[in-house]
Structure 1
Amino acid sequence: MDELIKRIEIWSIDRGLNNQDSGKQILKLVEEFGELVQGHLKNNVDQIKDSIGDMMVVMIIFCQQENIKIKDALNRTSTGLFNERHLKDVDSCLKFTLRHISQLADRPRFWPELDLAAITDSIANVGGAYDLTVEECLRAAYEEIKDRKGKMVNGVFVKQEDIK
């Protein structure tokens, strides 16, 4: 996982994402979360895998932009920090994720490691319900983006095929 995170950080630096406004990454996180919810509602495992991986990529880049050590957030997961009732089923996990994305958007400098840990823990539980791990989702996302070309538009990296 550490090597994968490092590769994504380098990918971000190579495209200039690491120096952009972290608020745009929050909006990307919301976009990817919406795709995760859609995948769950449609029972589309491929979409769920893609969305979890993409959410992790976005959070890694957000951490770069905010000078947060992603490992600090990831180390808080699976420690019993979060109440089991919030993570009892996929729907509960998704609502819990939404709450923490909202908190991260509303107060990004208040305790972002906690919100990032909550999001990661929750999406790990969502993935687990579909026999997916966060690492395999992140690996698939990296394989998808590693050679991606594009350009920055209003602080967001837009892939080549989406540039009009």
Structure 2
Amino acid sequence: MDYVKSIEAWAKNRGLDKTSSDKQLIKLVEEVGELAEAHNKEWRDKQIDSLGDIFVVLTIYALQNGLRIDDCVKEAYNTIKDRDGKIIDGVFVKKSDLEERKDD
């Protein structure tokens, strides 16, 4: 099943493709907040639900702005796939940022 196409169809059937994407950004922040709570409280089911909701919101946001979430993910992956760097305190820091830190 192509979930992106299903989400887009669901949104179009409800007219969400014609509404302001400002509301989707507000919804995104709400969903990220719910994910943070689920993470902090180790609520696995809520983490799954929140991640799914975030994907739905992002898919609708992309649709409202004439984009496809698949294309955005592809672009992001193509940007990072060959990126070098290292993990610092659990966060991946790209090589170019590490080089900037040396100059500071």
TM-score (norm 2): 0.74
**Residues in 2 aligned to 1:10 and 1:86: alpha-carbon distance in whole angstroms:** 41
- Classify 1:18/1:35 alpha carbon distance in 2 versus 1 (closer, same or farther; 3 Å): same
Percentage identity across paired residues of the two chains: 36
Report the AA paired with residue 79 of structure 1: K
Q: Tell me the residue number matched to 1:88.
A: 90
**How far has the Cα of 1:70 moved from its partner?**
1.4
Q: How many residues align?
A: 89
Q: Tell me the residue number matched to 1:7.
A: 6
Deviates more, 1:76-85 or 1:14-23: 76-85
**How far has the Cα of 1:69 moved from its partner?**
2.1
TM-score (norm 1): 0.48
- The structure number with the bigger radius of gyration is 2
* Residues 138-157 of structure 1 aligned to structure 2 (within 5 Å): none
Gaps of 5+ in 1: 93-164
Deviates more, 1:39-48 or 1:75-84: 75-84
CA RMSD of aligned residues (A): 2.5
- Classify 1:62/1:88 alpha carbon distance in 2 versus 1 (closer, same or farther; 3 Å): same
Encode CA deviations 1:131-154: one digit per residue, 9 max, x unaligned: xxxxxxxxxxxxxxxxxxxxxxxx
- The answer to which structure, 1 or 2, has the higher relative contact order (CA under 8 A, 6+ apart) is 1
Encode CA deviations 1:118-142: one digit per residue, 9 max, x unaligned: xxxxxxxxxxxxxxxxxxxxxxxxx
**Residues in 1 aligned to 2:10 and 2:89: alpha-carbon distance in whole angstroms:** 32
Q: Tell me the residue number matched to 1:133.
A: none
Q: Tell me the residue number matched to 2:100.
A: none
